[in-house]
A and B are shown apart, each in its own frame.
Chain A
């Protein structure tokens, strides 16, 4: 009887967890793909991040910060994977190949080239700001920095992309 109750309680906890984290899985996976460039690796990183989120969720005091908190875990997991020796082998051996999608999108490649020249940190903040549409305050939480510093990073990354950038073009 005790076992049944524990299992039910655990299942309820899992359902609650999935309802919280579930909507964040796809953007988390996209963030991981942006950082790692390989779907398989991105899925590994996201799955590991979900596991870590499960373990650390009780430590999250402000549930309103759940989204940037989870993205921070995803980003950290990606950074750990990028640092590792065995990941480098996968990166160049398996990812170095032509992309097949979007061939008609000729104008984008110059921007993509400029994005690729950016340091990883700059790419990460632009992805969060312009693709995931995170407000600066959430980017700050995800990166563990102040909102002012996050805003500065976005600004600097934009200026690197387009040195003649006017404020209204942002």
Chain B
């Protein structure tokens, strides 16, 4: 395995190749900066135009906010975190002994680097995993996929093949045994290549082509946001240049390949984040707007339903939905994370102040959410910032909390 730093550097090298010859950039930019310092007229015009644009945007947003103000639900006080299971930061030695069919959350051992532990979603059983998985787990964490093989929780080889050019590139489906992937994985050539959505059975092997959707370029990809066998649909998105933002997304029937509905942002005026529910029934489009003086960024989210119609508007940026689509995790940017109801925006849980959300897992066939929170400010002890795992029910109860996972 090559070192990650080499891989990352190589990818950045390729990206930077598009910058082309630097030429006299150094002297030209310094000279330009000195001229701009003395005679800022031309850039001043740009800035003025920008400020005008932001002012217009602010007016539009304010109007929009007023228009939907009546739809805002009352925000309830945050539930007090009262964890039922708090795991002390000592290495687990007991093996987690639950049936494969029981969904678990996997996490790094707080006291033993490299050890993978697991906890059930009710927080009652936890321990070290007998087989230390290395691949990407399905939602239940009972299958783990790498680039060339898939193993179960006991370590037994379930399937082998090529599931990505270098890493597993699929998105697990909600039936726990299929995953969706876009092919080809690489080598799009100068003009790009049409990409095909495939659905793969992890246990039986074999991929089925669903349909051609989107185009793969060297720095612009088509990815799978959701893969739902249960609801017969996938949500795919084409990233913007260099993978930033969303250029277009599609909701596709897995059985027929028919595009059920699509949204295009190639000419939009803002960067858009996209998060889909696991079943593809709800899609959250989050947009950032900036305050007039540029000091504060505000996120707003529109949630679209199964047919693409608007379901609700939320303040903040949606990070994930619960499995049953009842609640969503919202990052407000400056304030603490929240869990809100999807349809009304009612807050059911508010995270601790001073913590950001690093990762979210949804409980399969349930409504709980696993949130990894990390402190925004760190003591200067030189160690990686620890995270706390909160398992939170949809009514705001803290089911379990594990301190200091890597």
Contacts and interface: CB of A to CB of B under 8 A. Distances in A.
- Please determine whether chains A and B interact with each other in the same assembly: yes
Interface of A: 14, 17-18, 21-22, 25-26, 29-30, 33-34, 37-39, 42-43, 46-48, 50-51, 54-55, 80, 82-86, 88-89, 91-93, 95-103, 105-117, 120, 126-127, 129-131, 145-149, 151-153, 155-156, 158-159, 161-167, 169-170
Contacts of A34: 12, 15-16
A17 B30 CA distance: 9
B4 interface: yes
Contacts of A89: 267-269
Contact of B16 (A30, A148, A165): A30
Contact of B25 (A29, A82, A106, A111): A29
Interface core residue of B1, B241, B297 (most chain A CB under 10 Å): B241
Interface string B267-296: 111110000000000000000111000100
Given A91-B244, A99-B217, A42 B7 contact: no
Contacts of B358: 156
Given A86-B50, A91-B271, A110-B166, A96 B240 contact: yes
15 contacts: A25-B29, A54-B37, A83-B288, A92-B266, A93-B266, A99-B218, A100-B190, A105-B10, A106-B187, A107-B165, A109-B188, A113-B223, A130-B9, A148-B379, A152-B386
B221 A116 contact: yes
A108 B11 contact: yes
Contacts of B12: 34, 115, 126-127, 130-131
A26 B28 CA distance: 11
Contact of A83 (B9, B133, B215, B294): B294
Interface in B201-225: 215, 217-221, 223
B150 to A, nearest CB: 13
B158 interface: no
B377 A149 contact: yes
Given A22-B26, A85-B53, A170-B5, A102 B33 contact: no
B8 A111 contact: yes
Closest 10 CB pairs of A and B: A116-B243, A152-B385, A95-B241, A50-B33, A164-B134, A149-B378, A110-B165, A99-B218, A83-B290, A101-B17
Contact of A151 (B10, B56, B221, B382): B382
B53 A84 contact: yes
Contact of B19 (A33, A95, A149, A158): A33
B78 to A, nearest CB: 25
Contact of A103 (B15, B36, B54, B190): B190
Contacts of A29: 19, 22, 25, 29
B345 interface: no
A126 to B, nearest CB: 6
Nearest to A92: B266
Given A99-B217, A130-B8, A152 B374 contact: yes
A170 B5 CA distance: 6
B272 to A, nearest CB: 9
A101 B29 CA distance: 25
Contacts of A161: 4, 8, 167
Q: Looking at A18, A39, A42, A51, which has the most chain B CB atoms within 10 Å of its CB?
A: A51
A50 B34 CA distance: 8
Contact of B167 (A39, A84, A110): A110
Nearest to A153: B385
A165 B379 CA distance: 25
B385 A33 contact: no
Contacts of B5: 129-130, 170
Nearest to B243: A116
A133 B22 CA distance: 19
A92 B246 CA distance: 9
* Chain A binding surface SS class: helix
Contacts of A92: 240-241, 245, 247, 265-268
Contacts of B113: 167
Contacts of B18: 33, 39, 99-101
Nearest to B273: A119
B54 A99 contact: no
A126 B218 CA distance: 19
Contacts of B26: 22, 25-26
Contacts of B386: 152
B266 A96 contact: yes
Contacts of A155: 384-385, 406
Contacts of B22: 26, 29
B244 A116 contact: yes
A86 B53 contact: yes
B382 A110 contact: no
B164 interface: yes
A148 B380 contact: yes
Nearest to B137: A163
Nearest to A105: B14
Nearest to B20: A39
A131 B243 CA distance: 18
Contacts of B187: 103, 106, 109
